[in-house]
Amino acid sequence: MRTAHILIFTFATILFSSCVSMKQFSDVQDKLKNTAQENEVLKQSNLRLETANREMESVNKQLTERNKDLTAQLEDALYNLNAQKQKYAGLEIDMQNLNRQLDILKTGSSSEIEQLMDELQTARRNLNQREDRIREAEKELEERNAKLIELQDALAKKDEAVKDLKNKVMHALTGFTGNGLTVHEKNGKIYVSMDEKLLFKTGKWDVDPNGQKALSNLSQLLAENTDINIMVEGHTDNVPMRGSGDVKDNWDLSVMRATAVTKILTQNKQLKPDRIIAAGRSEYVPLATNESAEGKQMNRRTEIILSPKLDEVLEILEAN
């Protein structure tokens, strides 16, 4: 009898464990499906990020080349203007000499006077033509100089906007800088770099509470400044990630971390999600060598890259 009771109890235990395992298996399947969908969306975001970076590099290249061209044109115009003025001065001297000769020959023959008058008229026509060319050269010089000044003003405004943006970011993140967070300027952009220790546990992509607070402060600043482009990039070191499910390697990990940061930023309803591009860069954009523990720690980071919009500069380039 006792043996029968034991068998019944054992059977009931196995049946109950099987039900629990099936439920856990179903939950894991749902999570994997959601992760796969998010991964696909982030891969598309990564493509848009690459396109945006190429466009920004193209704009900066165009600005540099256009500035160089305008400066060269201005120098050519100044050279031509000085040359025209020198020729004009020479013609004035010639005319003065002809006038003196005319005074001397007034008592001479009519044929000599007529010849001298013809030479004088020719000199005057040449002088008028030179004056017209000088005026045209001066007008062209003024136009080119105005375009150059306009472009330089636009570039100065952009540089001032970047400087102002950096100061605002530093102020918004007071208390976090130096504690796993740095803010610096590079190539006309502001980089907010957050170490892994500020945001994540090793191999994870859930943002720690302290990191969430820093991101919340930053999101308010970004919401108030709508003329800023925002990119969120996840970076890893070169240690292979050996995960399971859809997060199998450093590509997946960097994408999930960039997405996690983006989701916290967009919890602020005033910050429109279409202003942000999130992407994973894996181990391929390191800040330091991966040969040391310190270098690997620097490379495990998330960067929020802020750049003022260049609409005004682009309009000037298109107009020229």
| CATH label of the domain that carries residue 289 | 3.30.1330.60
Residues 210 and 276 in one domain: yes
Provide the Cα torsion 168, 174, 179, 183; round to 10°. 10
Domain residue limits at 102: 66-160
Among 10-14, 29-33, 125-129, 194-198, whose mean pLDDT is lowest? 10-14
Given a cut of 50, whether residue 20 has pLDDT beyond it is no
Residues 150 and 192 in one domain: no
Structural domain includes residue 142: yes
C-alpha span between 319 and 297 (Å, rounded): 47
Residues 95 and 188 in one domain: no
Across 135-145, average pLDDT: 83
Q: In what order do the strands lie in the sheet with 228-235?
A: 181-186, 189-195, 301-308, 228-235, 276-280
Across 115-120, average pLDDT: 78
AA letter at 106: K
Structural domain includes residue 150: yes
Q: For the purposes of burial, counting CB atoms within 10 Å of the CB of 265, is it exposed (0-12), middle (13-18) or buried (19 or more)?
A: buried
Given a cut of 90, whether residue 80 has pLDDT beyond it is no
pLDDT of 9: 53
C-alpha span between 136 and 81 (Å, rounded): 9
pLDDT of 279: 95
Residues 128 and 194 in one domain: no
Contact 91, 123 (CB under 8 A): yes
Q: Nearest Cα to 205, choosing from 278, 150, 155, 156?
A: 278
Structural domain includes residue 24: no
Given a cut of 70, whether residue 5 has pLDDT beyond it is no
Contact 230, 52 (CB under 8 A): no
Length of the chain: 320
Provide the pairing of β-strand 228-235 with 301-308: antiparallel
Residues 182 and 212 in one domain: yes
pLDDT of 187: 85
Across 43-53, average pLDDT: 69
Given a cut of 70, whether residue 286 has pLDDT beyond it is yes
Structural domain includes residue 2: no
pLDDT of 270: 94
Which residues are registered as beta bridge partners of 229? Answer: 307
Structural domain includes residue 16: no
Query: Could you tell me which residue, 4 or 93, shows the higher pLDDT?
Result: 93
pLDDT band per the 50, 70, 90 thresholds, residue 127: confident
Helix, strand or coil for residue 289?
Answer: coil
Q: Which of 60-69, 82-91, 253-262 has the highest mean pLDDT?
A: 253-262
Beta strands in the chain (DSSP E): 181-186, 189-195, 228-235, 276-280, 301-308
Provide the Cα torsion 41, 43, 46, 51; round to 10°. -90
Residues 306 and 191 in one domain: yes
Residues 293 and 178 in one domain: yes
Total tally of structural domains belonging to the chain: 2
DSSP state of 275: G
Among 97-106, 239-248, 311-320, whose mean pLDDT is lowest? 311-320
Query: Could you tell me which residue, 217 or 314, shows the higher pLDDT?
Result: 217
Residues 275 and 296 in one domain: yes
Domain boundary among 104, 133, 160: 160
Given a cut of 50, whether residue 262 has pLDDT beyond it is yes
- 226's tokens: 């709508």
C-alpha span between 92 and 98 (Å, rounded): 10
Residues 178 and 89 in one domain: no
Structural domain includes residue 292: yes
Query: Phi, psi at residue 108, to the nearest 5°?
Result: -80, -165
Domain boundary among 160, 181, 208: 160
Domain boundary among 97, 126, 160: 160
Whichever domain contains 82, its CATH number is 1.10.287
Structural domain includes residue 130: yes
Residues 155 and 200 in one domain: no
Between the alpha carbon of residue 279 and those of residues 131, 285, 306, the distances in Å are: 62, 12, 14
Across 184-211, average pLDDT: 89
pLDDT of 102: 66
Across 228-243, average pLDDT: 90
Percent of the chain with pLDDT over 70: 81
Residues 309 and 188 in one domain: yes
Residue matched to tokens 């004009």: 88
Query: Could you tell me which residue, 120 or 257, shows the higher pLDDT?
Result: 257
Given a cut of 80, whether residue 244 has pLDDT beyond it is no
Given a cut of 70, whether residue 81 has pLDDT beyond it is yes
pLDDT band per the 50, 70, 90 thresholds, residue 45: low
Residues 207 and 297 in one domain: yes
Residue 95 Cα to chain centre, angstroms: 59
Beta strands in 70-187 (DSSP E): 181-186
Given a cut of 70, whether residue 95 has pLDDT beyond it is yes
Average pLDDT, the chain: 80
Structural domain includes residue 92: yes
